[in-house]
Chain A
Amino acid sequence: MMKGLGASEGYGIGRVMLIVDRELTYTPREVADIDAELERFHGAVETFTANTFEQADAVRKSTGDKEAEILEGHIAIISDPFMKGEIENLIKAHQCAEAAVEQICQMFIDMFTATGDELTMQRAADVKDIRDSLLGILLGVQEVKISDAPAGTVLVVHELTPSMTAGIKKDNIVGIITETGSQTSHSAILARAMEIPAVLSVPNALSQLSSGEQIIVDGNNGDVITAPSQEQVDEYTAKRDTYLREKRELEMFRGKPTVSASGEEYELCCNIGTPKDAAKAMEKDGEGVGLFRTEFLFMDRTSLPTEDEQFEAYKTAAVVLKGKPLIIRTLDIGGDKEIPYLGLEKEENPFMGFRAIRYCLQNRDMFKSQIKAILRASAFGDVRIMFPLITAVEELRAGKALVEEAKSDLRASGIAFNENIPVGVMTETSASGVIADLLAKEADFFSIGTNDLTGYTMACDRGNSNVGYLYSPFQPSVLRLIKSIIENGVHAGIPVGMCGEAAANPMMIPLLMSFGLTEFSVSAVSVLKVRKNIAKWTKAEADKVAEKVMAMTTEKEITDYLKSVI
C-alpha cells in the first residue's frame, strides 16, 4: 500500500495509466535570422492562446467557471508585455525561441518559489504548465492524449495540470494519483470539481507503478492499494457502491424543502465566514445564512475596516442570497483572537473577559459603524442583526439602542434600510440560557451557539486533554439549557435557530425537532445530510426519543441510547 493525501472523496478501482512528462529536450542554438525566430515565437504564443481558449471552454462545460478561470489566467500570463518583451530580448540576442522561453519562465518560477508564499508558489505551477505547452508547440511534441484513456482508468501523473484536465473524460477516469500537491493545489481543486477520487503527494508513484496494473484509490483516507487481493477488490467495490448510493440519496434532497416525516417544516441555513461563502451556501442548497461571522473583515489588516467596506461585504452576501435570510453576527472579537491594531490587552482569562458584545459596547464608534453597514445592507435582502455573548438583558437593550441611533443617522442622511430589521441574540452563555424567558421578551430571535454554550456550561476547555471529556452538548446540563432556550423562544413566539456544530449531529436532530427548534444552521457541506436526517423522523417519534433522553441521568446513558436509535 502507498500512502498519500486524500484530496478528493470517493473510491476508484481500475487500471493504471502513467502519464510521463513529455520529452521536451532541445539543443540550444544561435539563430541568425532574428525576425524568423521572433515569428516562430509569436506563432507558438498564438497557437497556445487558441488551444488554451478551447481548453477553457471545454473545462467550463465539463467542470465549471472557476476551473476554466485557471486556464484563462494562463492566457493573461502569456499576454504580459514584460514577460513577452524579455523573451523577445533574448531572441534578439540570437537565442533560439525554446531557450528564451525556458529561461524567462524559469526566472519567474524561481522568483515565485523564493517568496515562500503559498498562493504565489502555486502560480509557479502555472508558469511550468505554460512553459511545457509552449516548448511542446515549438518542438512539435504532442501531449499524451488523456482523452484516449479507456474506461476504468486510474491516471498517475507527477502533477495534474489545468491543461491536462481539459482532456479528461469523467466517465473513463475512475481515480487520480499524483506525486505532488496539497489540499489547495490545482490538482486537488480540479479533481474535486470533477468528482474523481484522488490521492495526492504519493512519492515516486510514477516509478513504482506501471501502466495496466490493477489499483485501488481511496480518496477518503489517502490510500493507494497496489496489487489488491480479490477480498480487497470486493471490499472496496462494496465501499464504492455504498459511497455512490449515499451520494445519490443525498442528491435526491437537493432543491427540496426541509420537512420531517410528519410534515413539519424547518429552515436549513448555512454558517459562513466571508461573502464568497454565501455563494457556496447557495450552491450546496442552503436556504439562507444563519450565521455570518464578520471577523474576517477585521483580521489580516492594519486598521479598522470602514463602514463602506463593511457595507460592500454585507451587501454582496445579501445580493447573492436573493432575499433569503442573512443573519449577520456583530464582531465577536476578544483576547483569544489576535488583532494587533485594536490594542487589546492580553488577559488572564480571555473567554471570560473583554470580548464580543462587551468590547463593542465600549467601543461605540466602531460598533455603530458596523451596525450602520449592516442596516444599509438590509436594503438589499432579508438581513438580520445578531449580538454575540449576551449574558444580561441590559446588553441587548444597549445594543438595540445603538441600532436605533444608527437608524436615525441613516434616516437623516436619506439612506435606505429596513426599518423593521430583526435584532436577535446568540444564546451561547449559560446566563443567556437561564434568562431565556427574559431575553425572549425583547429579542426578535434566538440562535443557539452550542460550542460556547457547552464550554461555558461545563466550565471546560475542549482543547485541554485533562478536562475535554466533559465537553459534550449531550451533557444533561447542556441539553436542559438548550431545551429551555428553545421553549422560551417558542413561548414568546420568536424563531429559535441553532448555529453551533451540534445542529448537524444526527443524534441531536430528533431532540431539536422535539424541543421546537425552527432553524438549523450548519456548514454548507452538511446541508443535504441534515435535510435527510430531519426527513427520517416524525414529530411523534422525535418526541418519544426526547422524552426518554430528558429523563436520563448521565451523558453516557444519553449518547448510548441516541446511537441505538439513529
Chain B
Amino acid sequence: MVSKKVTIVNAQGFHMRPASTFANALAKYACDVTLKVNGKDVNAKSLMNIIAACIKCGNEVEVVCSGADEEAALAEATAMIESGFGE
C-alpha cells in the first residue's frame, strides 16, 4: 500500500468534470484507489462517490493505492489533483 497527501487547488474543487476525468483515468489500474478526506473513505474510481464527498478547494486529500500497480496509480492520481485538473 502506498499513499500521499495532496491539496485540492482548483477553485471549484472536485465537481463534475474533474471527478469524471479522475475516475476514468483511474479505471485502467487494477489496484484499489481510495481518497481519505474529511474523515471519509471515498472510492476514487466512482464519479458518484467523489461527487457525494463534496471535496472543495483547499481540502487535504490522502490518496491511498493498494494493489499490483499502486505506484503508477498514485503518481497519476496525485499529479492530476496537484495540477488542478487543468482548470
Residues from 257 to 311 in A contacting B, C-beta threshold 8 Å: 274, 296, 300-303, 305, 309
A301 touches B57 (CB 8 A): yes
Closest A residue by C-beta to B51 = A123
Q: Are A111 and B52 in contact (CB under 8 A)?
A: yes
CB neighbours of B23 from chain A (8 A): 80
Residues of A within 8 A of B84 (CB): 309
A388 to B12: give the CA distance in the assembly, Å: 27
Which residues of B are found within 8 Å of A353, using beta-carbon distances?
none
Query: Chain A contact residues: over half helix, strand or loop, or mixed?
Result: helix
Is residue A119 within 8 Å, beta carbon to beta carbon, of the partner chain? yes
Residues of B within 8 A of A115 (CB): 52, 54
CB-nearest residue of chain B to A119: B15
The distance from the CB of B44 to the nearest CB of chain A, in whole angstroms, is: 10
Which A residues fall within an 8 A CB radius of B? 69, 73, 76-77, 80-83, 108, 111-112, 115, 117, 119-120, 123, 274, 296, 300-303, 305, 309
Interface flags for B1-29 (1: CB within 8 Å of A; 0: not) read: 00000010101100111001001100100
Which residues of B17-48 are within 8 A (CB) of A?
A: 17, 20, 23-24, 27, 43, 45-48
Is A120 in contact with B52, judged by CB distance below 8 angstroms?
yes
Shortest C-beta distance, B52 to chain A (Å), equals 4
- Contact: A80 with B58, CB < 8 Å? no
Query: Which one of B12, B43, B45, B47 contacts A76 once the chains associate, using CB atoms below 8 Å?
Result: B47
> Which B residues are in CB contact (< 8 Å) with A300?
11, 57-58
What's the dominant secondary structure at chain B's contact region? mixed
- CB pair A120 B57 closer than 8 Å: no
Q: Which residues of B contact A296 (CB under 8 A)?
A: 11
Pick from A69, A77, A112, A274: contact of B47, CB under 8 Å: A77
Q: Hey, which chain B residues are within 8 Å of A301, CB to CB?
A: 9, 57-58
Contact across chains for B52 and A302 when beta carbons are under 8 A apart: no
In Å, the complex CA distance between A80 and B22 comes to 12
Q: How far is the CB of A304 from chain B (nearest CB, A)?
A: 11
Q: Is the CB of B57 within 8 A of A83?
A: no
Asked if residues A123 and B43 are in contact (CB atoms below 8 Å), the reply is no
Contact (Cβ within 8 A) A302 B51: no
Mind listing 20 A-B residue pairs with CB under 8 Å?
A69-B17, A73-B16, A76-B20, A76-B47, A77-B47, A80-B23, A82-B45, A82-B46, A82-B49, A112-B51, A117-B54, A119-B12, A119-B15, A120-B52, A123-B16, A123-B51, A300-B58, A301-B9, A301-B57, A309-B9
Residues of chain B touching chain A, judged by Cβ–Cβ distance below 8 Å, are: 7, 9, 11-12, 15-17, 20, 23-24, 27, 43, 45-49, 51-52, 54, 56-58, 84
Nearest-Cβ distance from residue B45 to partner chain A, whole angstroms = 6
B27 in contact with A81 (CB, 8 Å):
yes
* Contact present for B48 and A82 (CB under 8 Å): yes
- Report the separation of the CA atoms of residues A466 and B48 in the bound assembly, to the nearest whole angstrom: 51
Closest to A112 in B: B52
The 4 A-B pairs at the shortest CB distance, nearest first, are namely: A82-B46, A111-B52, A115-B54, A76-B20
Residues in A whose Cβ lies below 8 Å from that of B27:
81
Assess A82 versus B20: contact at CB under 8 Å? Given A77-B48, A309-B84.
no
Docked-complex contact A120 and B46, CB < 8 angstroms: no
Q: Which residues of A contact B11 (CB under 8 A)?
A: 274, 296, 300
Verify A80–B54 contact, CB threshold 8 A: no
**Given A119-B15, A123-B16, A301-B9: A81 in contact with B46 (beta carbons within 8 A):** yes
Residue of A nearest to B7 (CB): A302
**Chain A residue contacts of B46, Cβ below 8 A:** 80-83
Residues of chain B within 8 A (CB-CB) of A117 are 54, 56
Closest to B23 in A: A80
Q: Across the interface, name the chain B residue whose C-beta is closest to A275.
A: B87
B56: chain A residues at CB < 8 Å are 117
- B7 partner residues in chain A, CB cutoff 8 A: 302-303
Chain A nearest CB from B19 CB (Å) reads 9
CA distance A73 to B56 in the complex (A): 19
Q: What would 10 more interface pairs be, CB under 8 Å, given A81-B27, A115-B54?
A: A81-B45, A81-B46, A82-B43, A82-B46, A82-B48, A111-B52, A117-B54, A300-B11, A300-B58, A305-B9
Measured CA separation A80–B47 after assembly (Å): 6
The distance in angstroms between the C-alpha atoms of A188 and B11, with both chains bound, is: 23
Q: How far is the CA of A69 from the CA of B15 in the complex (A)?
A: 13
Contact partners of A73 in chain B: CB under 8 A: 16, 20
> Taking CB as reference atom, which chain B residue is nearest A75?
B20
